[in-house]
Amino acid sequence: MNRFKNLTKMHQFKELKVWQKGRVLAKDIYKATQKFPKEELFGISAQMRRAADSIPINVAGGCGRDSYKELKRFIGIANGSAFELETLVIRSVDIKFLSKEDFERFDVELTEILKMIFGLKKSRIKSMN
């Protein structure tokens, strides 16, 4: 019965700070990539948007699963997407699509999200096993 109670709590993904911050980051990435050259619409812009969207989507998707193994897998995908986005942000600075200021802002947001994902893995998933 206690395990069911923990699982029910996980279905309330909208209360998780990592999901909330992921949504804000995805919105900010969409705004930033609107300024990229139009020929990049299906290139780096699309990759960045997919990676940014993947973070809150996979947190929510994992919370909606019925097994702890699946939850852990989805949180892992969100983590990988955050690292992918971090690489794309760095690349965007390298090719001068993003400013250093944008990089610093996204870097802080991504670092915070990565810490939250790690904390979620550590606290929620381990306590459910």
The pLDDT tens digits of the residues spanning 27-48 come to 999 999 999 999 888 899 999 9
Which CATH number characterizes residue 40's domain? 1.20.1440.60
Q: Which pTM was predicted?
A: 0.85
> In the prediction, which pLDDT does 126 show?
57
Q: How far apart are CA 30 and CA 7, in angstroms?
A: 32
- Domain residues for the domain of 18 are 2-128
Query: What is the 8-class DSSP label of residue 125?
Result: I
* CB < 8 Å & 24+ apart, contacts of 45-53: 47/84, 47/88, 48/85, 48/88, 48/89, 48/92, 51/81, 51/82, 51/84, 51/85, 51/88, 52/22, 52/25, 52/26, 52/81, 52/85, 53/26
Question: pLDDT tier at 63 (50, 70, 90 boundaries)?
Answer: confident
Tell me how many domains the chain contains.
1
Residues 66-114 have pLDDT tens digits of 777 888 899 999 999 999 999 999 999 999 999 999 999 999 999 999 9
42: helix, coil or strand? Answer: coil
Number of helices and strands in the chain (H, E)? 6, 0
